[in-house]
Chains A and B, each alone.
Chain A
Amino acid sequence: MKRFLFAVLMVFVSLPARADVDIKEFKSPGGINVWLLEEPSIPMVALELRFQGGASLDAEGKRGATNLMVGLLEEGAGDLDSQGFAKASESLAARYGYDVSDDTVAISSVFLSENRDEAMELLRLSIIEPRFDEASLERVRGQVLSVVRSEETDPNKIAGKTFKAIAFGDHPYGSGLNGTLESVSSLTRDDIVAAHQAALAKDRMVVSVVGDVTAEELGPMLDNLLGALPEKGAPLPPKTTPNLTGAVEVVEFDTPQSVAVFGQLGIERDDDDFFAAYLLNTILGGGGFESRLMEEVREKRGLTYGVYSYLVPKDLAALYMGSVASANDRIGEAVQVIQDEWARMANDGVTLDELNKAKALLTGAYPLRFDGNGAIAEIMVGMQVQGLPIDYIKTRNDKVNAVTLDEINRVASELLKPDALQFVIVGKPEGV
């Protein structure tokens, strides 16, 4: 009944508005490639920088060096010590963010038009002239060690780290980017300086800016900001393939609710089948309340508060992962339902109705993302990191809509490997 009503409704649902975003691409006088969206209606600018490589550039035996380095960028630079830097940024009301993931170092800033030169100068100091003072190093090291200790008794972190170790072994993807108590404790100031040289370089940098600034103004500002970076960073680690067997690994941990992560080999972002896989995942476990996993595990059986799956196309390997959490005496059933759904999807694929609904969700939701300077700057820099063309925003929904039922069901049978879907369960699961 419900499904029938719904199919009729679909006919009348026209596609919502397209995202209308006019990005300019230009080179600064100094040769930096920039994506800019001029948006003068609010007197502010959002800037996003990404440096590819990220924590995977950690040198042998120096796990955690890139993370600690990134944490120290805002802890003193140029003539300013840590407190001096913080006071200067507070006085400008500029916001700076420094973050690291397996694949990138992310530097973000939002500042006011009225003091943008001063805000950019402070940002330049943190990127080009960080001090890495011993006092700051020891203080931030203490914070990182506190985080590492906390992770040792956090079931979610234990599950994630165990899965990474199984999938990637000695590759940098195989361990946590914060490092271990031992590796972080042994890092020296020289290691931090080396990590800075390795990770922040022009050959792996992308830049996007949204806000109250013109290309003519921005070019020289960026040359000043980034011109002194080294031309080349450290070589990237090799690509790798996750080693997943389909076993269910249990890590005993005394807590009432078991946490499970699961995964198999994924699909690359530039694969011709990526959009089919993206739609497939939306139907299987990525589409919120409308996904099959949510319907079967939560809505029908009440086994969990949330179950999700997600494509993880990293730079050096591609995973297809998911997560769920259920009470110790119910996690076994949740895992069984997920395994069954994985197999059902691999064998039977999706229906045309499901495909059409997933297309409506993805194409309708896409323009909703472009609702603020900060949000758009992040989307733009993400496109650059993924190597997407500047007109991608205009063509993306067409690519989603072009996926046929035959295509998605071929991808379902090729991509999904029910027998190789590896589980890691942390808790005291019963009947697993």
Chain B
Amino acid sequence: MPRVLMAAALVAIAALPAKAKEMVSTFQLDNGMDVVVVEDHRAPVVMHMVWYRSGSADETPGVSGVAHFLEHLLFKGTDTLEPGEFSATVAANGGRDNAFTSYDYTAYFQRVAADRLELMMRMESDRMVNLRLGEEEILTERDVIIEERNQRTENSPGALFREQLNAAQYLNHRYGVPIIGWRHEMETLSLEDALAYYKTFYAPNNAILVVAGDVQPDEVLELAEKYYGVLPANPDLKPRERTIEPPQTSARRMVFHDKRVSQPYVTRSYLAPERDPGAQEGAAALTMLAEVLGGGTTSVLAEQLQFEDKIAVYTGAHYSGTSLDKTTFDLTVVPAHGTSLQEAEDAMDAVIAAFFETGVDEEHLERIKMQLRASQIYARDNVGSLANRYGRALTSGLRVEDVQAWPDVLQAVTSEDIMEAARMVFDDKKSVTGWLQGAKQTEMNQ
């Protein structure tokens, strides 16, 4: 039950509606910018998004957080827009706008009445190339992102713990550096750092336009050519070649103490392959493995630890394959009051060991597949989530055809595929196990 805890488990299994294919059109402009249009004519609303194929993992070492810092600064002004005027204009037109940054992408969006699409394109294409920044607004906005880090990370022991886990998981890849940045590097981010990132990555040949809602594809294309099509491609844009992980050869363990923790838990992440264009079968099997092991109260972990042994208040398994480079497969056990973290971890290991003996319950697998088929229908009710799905996939190295094939790839997964995926992914040498705990006893006595 508790919605708070379960939220983590409900991270949706990404599946594109087969029927939703009919709602989607795709184009490419001459300058290399991709265009995806998702039609939904039930309400006179449009979501206009521009996704850049660059995120925090594309930063150069030493300026962590600059991708996210620049995202904030894109609201500051251009040759023709005053600082803040972008959002003010969206609001004056009854819309809402915002932006977000991840490891592999940075995205900007506005939700407005469908007849305001052209205005959004005019402004968004403008700030792709005409950003103007002053020294003073840089300093104020740097204070804002540091307060954002305070709010999201410094004030949350769970977030501080996950940051350390990630850093230990990746030995040589930028996924080990937090998206928002390490605090000491954020504190020295400069105007030059932001502009260097902007000049390298903000260009039409590194961007994807996603428009979803009450629009006609040919009209979107016409507007896109008018506003984005005229921008020159960046000829210096390089392929996204990132540092690669060396062989991981030793299991890592960490204990994180923080007196603000009232509910301890144990979590383990394993380095795991991601979805690749034309080769999504392994990721599909891992997606199903996460569902089988930890996708709700009928999953293997929940049945054993929450219902049989009654030693956990929450269990979960999580995998998201939409990632440019290697991702992780995660297991979590939140022990019941009176159960130690060692007992919780031992019980988690015992469940996985037993799973290798018993295998996948075919009825359970069929229920999961039924839910995936239904999610293709439910997804048609939320055009915004469809738009996000395309944006995330296309900035993570996948193609439109991969997004559209994904539901069938998931349906084709067999129980043997799942067991093979389990044998492959549960490799202790590539794992990090972490305990999140309250204050050490000595601290508590002070």
* Inter-chain contact B303/A83, CB cutoff 8 Å: yes
**Known contacts A357-B92, A364-B94, A365-B95; is A139 also within 8 Å of B259 by CB?**
no
Residue of B whose beta carbon sits closest to that of A88: B367
Q: Shortest Cβ distance from A146 into chain B, in angstroms? A: 5
Q: Which of B111, B144, B336 contacts A302 (CB 8 A)?
A: B144
- Whether B199 is near chain A, meaning CB under 8 Å from some CB there, is no
A374 to B259, CA, bound (A): 41
* Inter-chain contact A153/B260, CB cutoff 8 Å: yes
- Whether B141 is near chain A, meaning CB under 8 Å from some CB there, is yes
Q: Which of B85, B89, B113, B334 contacts A367 (CB 8 A)?
A: B113
Residue of B whose beta carbon sits closest to that of A18: B44
- Whether B262 is near chain A, meaning CB under 8 Å from some CB there, is yes
User: Which stretch from A49-57, A253-261, A310-318, A388-396 is at the chain B interface?
Assistant: A253-261
A1-43 Cβ-contact flags toward B at 8 Å (1 or 0): 1100110011001011101000000000000000000010111
On chain B, the residues within 8 Å of A416 by CB distance are none
**Known contacts A17-B113, A42-B380, A299-B140; is A10 also within 8 Å of B307 by CB?**
no
A-facing residues in B369-390 (Cβ within 8 Å): 370-371, 373-375, 377-378, 380-384
On chain B, the residues within 8 Å of A360 by CB distance are 91-94
User: Which stretch from B2-10, B231-239, B401-409 is at the chain A interface?
Assistant: B2-10
**Known contacts A10-B92, A99-B3, A327-B150; is A44 also within 8 Å of B377 by CB?**
yes
Residue of B whose beta carbon sits closest to that of A363: B94
B1-36 Cβ-contact flags toward A at 8 Å (1 or 0): 111110000000000000000000000000000000
**Known contacts A44-B381, A75-B1; is A93 also within 8 Å of B371 by CB?**
yes
* Inter-chain contact A93/B1, CB cutoff 8 Å: no
On chain A, the residues within 8 Å of B337 by CB distance are 142, 145-146, 149
A91 to B437, CA, bound (A): 38
- Whether B82 is near chain A, meaning CB under 8 Å from some CB there, is yes
A6 to B2, CA, bound (A): 47
A87 to B303, CA, bound (A): 12
* Inter-chain contact B42/A371, CB cutoff 8 Å: yes
Interface extent on B, as a size class?
35 or more
User: Which stretch from A169-177, A188-196, A262-270, A284-292 is at the chain B interface?
Assistant: A284-292
On chain B, the residues within 8 Å of A302 by CB distance are 139-144, 147
Q: Shortest Cβ distance from A257 into chain B, in angstroms? A: 4
* Inter-chain contact A368/B45, CB cutoff 8 Å: yes
* Inter-chain contact B84/A289, CB cutoff 8 Å: yes
Q: Shortest Cβ distance from B179 into chain A, in angstroms? A: 15
* Inter-chain contact A370/B43, CB cutoff 8 Å: yes
B-facing residues in A77-104 (Cβ within 8 Å): 82-83, 86-87, 90-93, 95, 98-99
- Whether B155 is near chain A, meaning CB under 8 Å from some CB there, is yes
A77 to B346, CA, bound (A): 33
Chain B contact residues, majority secondary structure: helix
- Whether A361 is near chain B, meaning CB under 8 Å from some CB there, is yes
On chain B, the residues within 8 Å of A368 by CB distance are 43, 45, 94-96, 111-113
Residue of B whose beta carbon sits closest to that of A93: B374
| Residue in B1, B2, B96, B259 with the greatest tally of chain A CB atoms within 10 Å | B1
Interface extent on A, as a size class?
35 or more
* Inter-chain contact B382/A42, CB cutoff 8 Å: no
A241 to B54, CA, bound (A): 52
On chain A, the residues within 8 Å of B155 by CB distance are 155, 255-257, 259, 325
- Whether A300 is near chain B, meaning CB under 8 Å from some CB there, is yes
A128 to B40, CA, bound (A): 37
On chain B, the residues within 8 Å of A326 by CB distance are 147, 150
* Inter-chain contact B307/A371, CB cutoff 8 Å: no
On chain B, the residues within 8 Å of A86 by CB distance are 296-298
* Inter-chain contact B115/A42, CB cutoff 8 Å: no
- Whether B151 is near chain A, meaning CB under 8 Å from some CB there, is yes
- Whether A74 is near chain B, meaning CB under 8 Å from some CB there, is yes
* Inter-chain contact B147/A304, CB cutoff 8 Å: yes
- Whether B87 is near chain A, meaning CB under 8 Å from some CB there, is yes
Q: Which of B115, B298, B370 contacts A83 (CB 8 A)?
A: B298
- Whether A405 is near chain B, meaning CB under 8 Å from some CB there, is no
* Inter-chain contact B82/A146, CB cutoff 8 Å: no
| Residue in A41, A138, A298, A365 with the greatest tally of chain B CB atoms within 10 Å | A365
Q: Which of B84, B143, B151 contacts A303 (CB 8 A)?
A: B143
A259 to B154, CA, bound (A): 12
On chain B, the residues within 8 Å of A13 by CB distance are 92-93
On chain B, the residues within 8 Å of A154 by CB distance are 260
| Residue in B142, B146, B303, B374 with the greatest tally of chain A CB atoms within 10 Å | B374
- Whether B400 is near chain A, meaning CB under 8 Å from some CB there, is no
On chain B, the residues within 8 Å of A142 by CB distance are 313, 336-337
- Whether A152 is near chain B, meaning CB under 8 Å from some CB there, is yes
- Whether A233 is near chain B, meaning CB under 8 Å from some CB there, is no
Residue of A whose beta carbon sits closest to that of B371: A93
Q: Which 5 A-B pairs have the closest CB atoms?
A: A364-B94, A302-B143, A93-B374, A16-B113, A257-B150
15 A–B pairs (Cβ distance < 8 Å), ordered by A: A17-B115, A42-B380, A139-B306, A143-B2, A145-B337, A147-B5, A151-B262, A299-B84, A305-B150, A326-B150, A357-B92, A360-B91, A361-B91, A362-B94, A364-B95
Q: Which A residues have a C-beta under 8 Å from some C-beta of B?
A: 1-2, 5-6, 9-10, 13, 15-17, 19, 39, 41-44, 46, 71-72, 74-75, 82-83, 86-87, 90-93, 95, 98-99, 110, 112, 138-140, 142-147, 149-155, 254-257, 259, 287-290, 298-306, 325-327, 330, 357, 360-368, 370-374
Q: A143-B1, A360-B93, A372-B382 are in contact. List 13 more A-B contacts (CB 8 A).
A: A2-B84, A9-B89, A16-B94, A71-B2, A74-B1, A75-B1, A87-B298, A143-B5, A289-B75, A289-B91, A326-B147, A368-B43, A371-B213
